[in-house]
Amino acid sequence: MTMTDQTVPAAAGDPKWAWAPYQPGDNRPWNLALAAHLLRRAGFAASWSDMQQALADGPQRTVDRLLQPRAGFEELERGLEALEASLAISESAASDDCAELWLYRMMQARHPLLEKMTLFWHGYLAIAGARAGKASLMLRHVRLLRRHALGRFDAMLRDVCRDPATLMALDARVNRKASPALEFAGALLGRYTLGAGAFGETDVRDTARAFTGAAVVADEYRYLAHERDEAAKTVLGRQGDLGGEDVLRVLLAHPATPRFVVGRLYGWLISETDVPAASLLAPLADSFGPDYDIAKLAGTMLRSNLFFSAGAYRQRVKSPLEFALGIAGAFEASVAAASLHRQLAGLGQQLLEPPTREGWPGGRRWLNRFTLVGRSNLAAELLAAQGSYAGKLDPQAVAARHGSAEPGRISRFLLELLVQNDVPAEVAGQLSQGPGDARQLAHAIVALPEYQLA
pLDDT of residue 3: 54
Sign of the Cα torsion 326, 332, 337, 339 reads: negative
pLDDT of residue 251: 98
Sign of the Cα torsion 168, 171, 173, 175 reads: negative
pLDDT of residue 4: 46
Domain boundaries of the chain, sorted by first residue: 1-66+256-313, 94-253, 320-452
Could you report the per-residue pLDDT of 219-265, keeping only the tens digit for each?
Answer: 999 999 999 999 999 999 999 999 999 999 999 999 999 999 999 99
In 77-98, which positions are buried (b, 16+ CB within 10 angstroms) versus exposed (e)?
Answer: eeebeeebeebbeeeebebbbb
State mean pLDDT over 8-35.
Answer: 90
Please measure the distance between the N-terminal and C-terminal CA atoms of the chain and give it in whole angstroms.
19
pLDDT of residue 1: 38
Over 90: is that where the pLDDT of 323 sits? Answer: yes
Could you report the per-residue pLDDT of 282-317, keeping only the tens digit for each?
Answer: 999 999 999 999 999 999 999 999 999 999 999 999
Regarding predicted confidence, which is higher, 7 or 285?
285
Q: What is the mean pLDDT of the chain?
A: 94
pLDDT > 90 fraction of the chain, expressed in percent and rounded: 89
Residue 283: partners with Cβ closer than 8 Å, 6 or more residues away: 15, 16, 19
Range in 20-29, 82-91, 421-430 the model is least confident about:
82-91
Position 92 confidence tier, pLDDT thresholds 50, 70, 90: low
pLDDT > 70 fraction of the chain, expressed in percent and rounded: 96
pLDDT of residue 433: 79
With contact defined as beta carbons under 8 Å apart, do 60 and 37 qualify? no
Written in H, E and C, the secondary structure of the chain is CCHHHCCCCHHHHCHHHHHCECCCCCCCCCCHHHHHHHHHHCCCCCCHHHHHHHHHHCHHHHHHHHCCCCCCHHHHHHHHHHHHHHHHCCCCCCHHHHHHHHHHHHHHCCCHHHHHHHHHHHHHHCCCHHHHCCHHHHHHHHHHHHHHCCCEHHHHHHHHCCCHHHHHHCCCCECECCECCHHHHHHHHHHHHCCCCCCCHHHHHHHHHHCCCEEEECCEEEECHHHCCCCCEEECCEEECCCHHHHHHHHHHCCHHHHHHHHHHHHHHCCCCCCCCHHHHHHHHHHHHHHCEHHHHHHHHHHECCCCCCCCCCCCECCHHHHHHHHHHHCCCCCCHHHHHHHHHHCCCCCCCCCECCECCCHHHHCCHHHHHHHHHHHHHHHCCCCCCCCCCCHHHHHHHCCCCCHHHHHHHHHHHHHCCCCCHHHHHHHHCCCCCHHHHHHHHHCCHHHHEC
> Which residues pair with residue 21 across a beta bridge?
304
Could you report the per-residue pLDDT of 131-187, keeping only the tens digit for each?
Answer: 998 889 999 999 999 999 999 999 999 999 999 999 999 999 999 999 999 999 999
pTM: 0.95
pLDDT of residue 2: 52
Over 70: is that where the pLDDT of 397 sits? Answer: yes
State mean pLDDT over 360-383.
Answer: 95
Over 70: is that where the pLDDT of 5 sits? Answer: no
Over 60: is that where the pLDDT of 370 sits? Answer: yes
Alpha-carbon separation of residue 414 from 44, 337, 400, 409, 443 (angstroms): 18, 24, 11, 9, 10
With contact defined as beta carbons under 8 Å apart, do 216 and 209 qualify? no
Could you report the per-residue pLDDT of 184-226, keeping only the tens digit for each?
Answer: 999 999 999 999 999 999 999 999 999 999 999 999 999 999 9
362: left (phi over 0), alpha (psi -120 to 50) or beta: left
